[in-house]
A and B are shown apart, each in its own frame.
Chain A
Amino acid sequence: GESVGLHLPTLSVQEGDNSIINCAYSNSASDYFIWYKQESGKGPQFIIDIRSNMDKRQGQRVTVLLNKTVKHLSLQIAATQPGDSAVYFCAENNNAGNMLTFGGGTRLMVKP
């Protein structure tokens, strides 16, 4: 069935380096994508979103890239900090159902 998945379950980066977290989706009908950050024992926190009519969107230290041709989504974090350590989920919205489907999550570990 349609699903959203991640390539890497764990990503370890050095403090100050840039991080890239990837996500593949398979539902071509999805038109809205969101990245969430979840720290241990807490609910997901909205980071950034992008609509399917865009291929790039930038926030504060974060950039989301969308490649609809290969159904790929990525989250780039610039100058990664210890506070960025968390599990990151991509989610896709199927406009027909207006529900979010979450990927499996990637754990980002920042080494000091």
Chain B
Amino acid sequence: GAVVSQHPSRVICKSGTSVKIECRSLDFQATTMFWYRQFPKQSLMLMATSNEGSKATYEQGVEKDKFLINHASLTLSTLTVTSAHPEDSSFYICSARGSGQDSGTQYFGPGTRLTVL
């Protein structure tokens, strides 16, 4: 149980393109989803927290107009990187937590490798 998927797993795009990444909880309802970014050989950095049906809460330094998050259902959250630039190239990972699960436990998706040319 507690499986989280992401799509796509890898995307290469031109500078200026917008890219949408999907995060799905496959076998549980995720009331809260989290989006992280991870640069090579570094730890995970939380970008934003989203609760189903409400606006996402962004961490300091993360531009909400550049990283659009939508959590429209209990099983799906999307992250859209708008007008992507090479510095946005990174490994984006989502995680999900259900209402019935241990407080704090997050289950992670496999990640999406974004390369902006």
Interface size on A (CB < 8 Å)? 21
Residue of A34, A46, A98, A102 near B44 (CB, 8 A) is A102
- Determine whether the beta carbon of A105 is less than 8 Å from that of B103: no
> How many Å lie between the Cα of A44 and that of B91 in the bound state?
12
Whether the Cβ atoms of B105 and A46 lie closer than 8 Å is yes
A99 and B42 alpha carbons, distance in the complex (Å): 19
Chain B's interface size range is: 20 to 34
Chain B residues in the interface with A (C-beta under 8 A)? 2, 4, 6, 32, 34, 42-44, 46, 49, 91, 93, 95, 102-111, 113
A89 touching B44 in the complex, CB below 8 Å, given contacts A46-B105, A49-B102: yes
Chain A interface, >50% SS class: strand
Q: How far is the CA of A46 from the CA of B49 in the complex (A)?
A: 19
Establish whether residues B93 and A44, one from each chain, have CB atoms under 8 Å apart when the complex forms. Answer: yes
Which chain A residues have a beta carbon within 8 Å of chain B's beta carbons?
A: 32, 34, 36, 41-46, 49, 89, 93, 95, 98-105
Q: How far is the CB of A106 from chain B (nearest CB, A)?
A: 11
Known: A41-B111, A41-B113, A43-B111. A100 touches B43 (CB 8 A): no
Contact A32 B104 (CB under 8 A): yes
Set of chain A residues within 8 Å of B110, measured between Cβ atoms: 42-43
